Amino acid sequence: MASVLVPLAQGCEELEAVTIIDLLRRADIEVVTAGLDDQPVRAAHGTVLIPDTTLDAVADREFDMIVLPGGLPGADHLDRDPRIHALLTRMAAADRYVAAICAAPKILANAGLLANRRATSFPGVLDARAVAGLEYREEPVVQDGRIITSRGPGTAMDFVLTLIEALVGKETRARVEAALQRPDHHRTV
C-alpha cells in the first residue's frame, strides 16, 4: 500500500489539508498526519485538526510521498522547521514524490528542490528570479518529475487527484473522481 506523510503546522489551510487527507484515503492510500509537536493544530480559519502522530515519531519512516498543505502562517512554520527540510531533501534524493500546494511550494524552493524545475504556487509566493532556472507556471497543478505543486484551495481537488494518479494510477484516480460528482467540465479522466 502506498504511504503518504502530511505534516500539519499551526495555521495550515484546512481546506487543503482535509482535501489531501480525505481524497488520498478514498484511494486506499495510507495517510499519516504528523504535527510539528504533540498539540492539536488550529488551522488558518479556526478548524482544529488532531494529527495522527508527531513528526519526530515518524521522521525515520519511509514514505512514498510527502505532501505539504499551504496556508499562512502554516507554511512559514513548516519552512522554519529543519526537520521538514531534511525530510524533503531525503525524499527527493530517494526519488520519492514531494508535493506542495498554495504557499508551501516556497518550502520546496528554500530546500533547494525547485532549481531548474517547473512549478506553481499561490500567486506571489514563488519568485522565479530568486530560484535558479525555475519555470513558474500559472496552471492549477504542475508536475515536474516527482515534484508536484498547485496553486491554492480552489485547486486542491485537482492537486490530490494528480497525486493519486502518480501514486496508484489512472484507474484509481477515475474511481475516486467519479464518486465526487464533480461537473464534467472539471473531469480530466
- Of 102, 108, 109, 148, which one is the catalytic site residue? 102
pLDDT, one tens digit for every residue, the chain (189 residues): 999 999 999 999 999 999 999 999 999 999 999 999 999 999 999 999 999 999 999 999 999 999 999 999 999 999 999 999 999 999 999 999 999 999 999 999 999 999 999 999 999 999 888 899 999 999 999 999 999 999 999 999 999 999 999 999 999 999 999 999 988 755 555
* Locus of grid cell 485538526: 49
Query: In a 3-state reduction of DSSP, which class is residue 100?
Result: strand
- Which CATH code for domain 3-186? 3.40.50.880
Q: Where are the domains of the chain?
A: 3-186
Number of C-beta neighbours around residue 147 at 10 A: 21
Residue 12 annotated in active site: no
* Longest alpha-carbon distance in the chain: 42
CA 34 to chain centre: 13
Query: In a 3-state reduction of DSSP, which class is residue 102?
Result: coil
Q: What global pTM score does this model have?
A: 0.95
